[in-house]
Copies of this chain bind each other. A is one copy, B any other.
Amino acid sequence: MAGTSKMRHIIHSIEFGNQLSAAYPWTSKPLLVAAPMRVISGPQLAVAVSRSGGLGFIGPGEKPQTTAVDLESAKDMLSHSPISQPASNSSSLDQSSSLLPIGVGFQLWNGDINVAASTVSRYRPAAAWLFAPRHGQAEVDNWAVRLREACPGTKIWLQVGTFNEAVEAAASDTASRPDVLVVQGTEAGGHGRASDGMGFITLLPEISDATRGSGIPLFAAGGIADGRGAAAALAIGAAGVVMGTRFLASQEARVNKDYQNEVIRAADGASTTVRTQLYNHLRGTFGWPEQFSPRTIINKSWVEQQAGAGFEDLKKSHDLAVKEGRGWGPEGRTATYAGAGVGLVRVVDGAGAIVEKTRSEAVEIIRRLQELGRD
């Protein structure tokens, strides 16, 4: 019976999540993750999230070499003030306790696999999050194998935004198969699927039904900004929950204050954010594989482009605005990447407080929903 089958999914997702939690013994359930936002997710943010029982990721830096600098900082912070972990009582814990209790993200299409492998080998992060390959699963497989060789304890997380990506990843060889699939819905900020994305509300359960046999836990990303979204993600079958935009408004985010203020100000994320390559190009970033584009808060560059302005004019206005410190805000002109959940983000908090609040909200919401079963 279909009902029983869905029960199994939920039970499996809880079990998959439990197995993963065992590999990350400092974490609390439900497992909350801070996404590896490029440059913005630095060592302070990642360590603060892990210190509160979540899993923090360091994002890709300006250059492949920057990741090692960030990991060195994180290692330094963690050696001065370690995260307490349960006493080791198994070889699995022995292995995990020798890992750095944070993750690191790699953007594949313009990454450097050799630099990445030597960085992972040296710093032993608990997770490596792969995303944005130019050449699909073959490229992902290559990275997964190399990083596993570099540090066998590092779990491989793979971000997908389509059903086919997920099914292909789940079917790849044991040596390259990811340990975690992050199912990113189209509401997500920053780079995701350009035109074939969808919310995780349909994407995740379809992927769950198709990949259950693989035993790979699914994490939900895209549009989650508080305990309500986190509880919904768990209900749909996620083993854990990823937030990005919410952490743009954290004290530890490596983000310009004007950018952060705009995240706080923006409301009605459905109409004030859009996916477009325009802002990459205005900032001089070209070469993104065409299957990806970033979601950004709309400002004058977008409005004027829609009204017919040419790129050269937009570029001049953009560069001048940035030079004069008017880059961000509703009258601004530069990239303000954020998800459609931006309207739910209204205050800057410490990253640790965000993790704890979101987790306790989710747990309390689930508790209160129990009342529905009692007529």
Contacts and interface: CB of A to CB of B under 8 A. Distances in A.
A308 to B, nearest CB: 18
A307 interface: no
A226 B271 contact: no
B360 A366 contact: no
Given A206-B269, A368-B14, A2 B357 contact: yes
Given A226-B2, A228-B237, A235-B231, A375 B28 contact: yes
B201 A200 contact: yes
A347 B1 CA distance: 11
A285 to B, nearest CB: 26
B365 A196 contact: no
B203 A270 contact: yes
Nearest to A349: B2
A181 B236 CA distance: 23
Given A30-B372, A206-B343, A368-B11, A236 B228 contact: yes
A227 B375 contact: no
A163 B235 contact: no
Interface in A203-227: 203, 205-206, 209, 222-227
Given A162-B268, A231-B236, 8 more contacts: A3-B357, A10-B364, A163-B343, A198-B269, A199-B199, A202-B344, A235-B366, A366-B372
A229 B235 CA distance: 7
Given A235-B231, A269-B206, A372 B14 contact: yes
Contact of A7 (B235, B270, B361, B372): B361
Interface in A268-288: 268-271
Contacts of A202: 187, 223, 225, 229, 269-270, 339-341, 343-344
Contacts of A234: 235, 369, 372
A201 B203 contact: no
B9 A235 contact: no
Where chain A touches its partner, the secondary structure class is helix
Given A6-B226, A187-B198, A205-B228, A235 B365 contact: yes
A326 interface: no
Nearest to A236: B232
A216 to B, nearest CB: 18
Contacts of A347: 2
Specify which of A235, A360, A373 lies most central, judged by the most chain B CB atoms within 10 Å of its CB. Answer: A235
A10 to B, nearest CB: 5
A134 interface: no
Contacts of A237: 228
A316 interface: no
Interface string A137-152: 0000000000000000
Given A205-B226, A223-B199, A341-B202, A367 B373 contact: yes
A62 interface: no
25 contacts: A2-B347, A3-B361, A3-B364, A28-B375, A162-B271, A163-B270, A163-B271, A163-B343, A196-B270, A199-B340, A200-B201, A201-B223, A202-B229, A202-B270, A206-B267, A206-B344, A209-B344, A229-B236, A232-B235, A234-B235, A235-B235, A235-B369, A366-B369, A366-B373, A367-B370
A366 B370 contact: yes
Contacts of A367: 370, 373
Interface in A252-280: 267-271
Contacts of A186: 199
Given A162-B271, A203-B270, A227 B372 contact: no
